[in-house]
């Protein structure tokens, strides 16, 4: 399988979803709910969209772990990729969050699931940097090339270059930080709204990087890996075309299947030539999520990919070889007491 495209993902089913007022100041993609629409109606619509995305991913053969969240104080919990990332070799990272009302989105039950169902060696927690006013909001702030080990990051309030350097040192990535702004000069709040790196294709709004030299460096760094670079316009970015993620599923026959997950709105913004470039290496799976997109994020933001090896699943009641060897009811090897008694008899 590709190291870039995870075969399993985490989604959070936020039962009390509303656009977060604490993040509206620096998120130019965030919008108010339609006039007259109640919070209850907004939540119901969002739940239906979350369920539709989970089902579409399952239909594509992706393993989906869904966590329920009924806490009304966590309006953005539907975006778990901002506090969590996983990495080959059994490593997990937990991140510092910019908005104070997002910091309790971090969940012990999610981490426990990862440790129980996947090979998890260590959890590296950067959240202690929050009191210092230093933030790095996971794979929202960074777009990671897991194959070539490059971390692309548009600098913002939510993406600090010093934490990026620390992350790259800990996880063995090359940092590539840059400035990115819209046509009004407003900094891009999260890198993953303007860029997506897949196994063989990369989508990126190069025109939003004002430094021409840095822009060319980014383009060359993506192209040198052999990827097809698909430039996006700012208009397409506003339709969330950059907020996509490549996943690895399975066909009903069990064959590997690479998909590019994005919203229906993002898919409709793409030109035929861009669609063709993407579909040379993976098929597009799109789901309409207009309510969730009011919060300023789209499909990529909803998905925390699992880049960990899965633990072997034993059949019900079946003991592993190691456990069978120390099974108290039917021991197959002598324990310490047996050995001691044998010595006495001898």
Residue 343 has pLDDT above 80, yes or no: no
Sheet holding 84-87, edge to edge: 84-87, 91-94, 122-125
Assess contact for 161 and 155: CB atoms under 8 A.
yes
Q: H or E segment at 53?
A: helix 39-59
67-87 confidence digits (pLDDT tens): 999 888 888 999 999 999 999
Residues 57, 285 contacting (CB under 8 angstroms): yes
What is the model's pLDDT at position 336? Answer: 47
Displacement of CA 82 from its chain's centroid (Å): 8
* Confidence band of 31 (pLDDT split at 50, 70, 90): confident
Confirm if 31 and 19 have CB atoms less than 8 A apart. yes
Nearest to 271 by CA among 218, 228, 235: 235
pLDDT digits (tens, 9 = 90+) for 260-293: 999 999 999 999 999 999 999 999 999 999 999 9
**Token reading at 328:** 């108290």
Confidence band, pLDDT 50/70/90 cuts, at residue 19: confident
pLDDT at 1: 55
Average pLDDT over residues 47-57: 97
């Amino acid at each position: 399988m590709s190291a870039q495209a995870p075969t399993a993902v985490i989604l959070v089913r936020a039962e009390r979803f509303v656009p977060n007022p604490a993040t509206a100041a620096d998120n130019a993609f965030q919008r108010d709910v339609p006039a007259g629409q109640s919070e209850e109606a907004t939540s119901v619509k969002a739940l239906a969209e979350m369920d539709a995305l989970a089902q579409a991913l399952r239909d594509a053969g992706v393993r989906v772990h869904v966590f329920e969240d009924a806490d009304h104080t966590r309006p953005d919990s539907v975006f778990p990729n901002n506090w969590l990332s996983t990495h080959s070799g059994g490593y997990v990272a937990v991140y510092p969050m910019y908005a104070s009302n997002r910091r309790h989105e971090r969940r012990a039950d999610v981490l426990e699931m990862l440790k129980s169902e996947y090979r998890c060696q260590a959890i590296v927690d950067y959240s202690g940097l929050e009191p210092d006013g230093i933030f790095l909001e996971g794979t929202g702030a960074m777009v990671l090339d897991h194959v070539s080990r490059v971390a692309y990051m548009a600098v913002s309030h939510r993406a600090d270059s010093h934490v990026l350097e620390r992350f790259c040192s800990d996880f063995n990535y090359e940092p590539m930080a840059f400035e990115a702004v819209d046509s009004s000069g407003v900094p891009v709040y999260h890198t993953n709204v303007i860029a997506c790196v897949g196994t063989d294709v990369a989508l990126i709004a190069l025109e939003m990087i004002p430094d021409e030299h840095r822009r060319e460096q980014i383009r060359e760094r993506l192209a040198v890996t052999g990827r097809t670079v698909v430039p996006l316009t700012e208009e397409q970015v506003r339709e969330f075309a950059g907020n996509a993620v490549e996943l690895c599923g399975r066909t009903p026959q069990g064959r590997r299947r690479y998909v590019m997950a994005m919203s229906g709105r993002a898919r409709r913004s793409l030109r035929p030539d861009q669609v063709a470039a993407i579909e040379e290496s993976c098929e597009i799976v799109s789901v309409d999520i207009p309510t969730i997109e009011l919060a300023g994020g789209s499909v990529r933001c909803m998905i925390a990919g699992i880049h960990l090896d899965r633990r072997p699943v034993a059949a019900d009641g079946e003991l592993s070889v190691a456990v069978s060897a120390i099974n108290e009811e039917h021991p197959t090897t002598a324990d310490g007491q047996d050995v001691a008694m044998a010595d006495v008899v001898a």
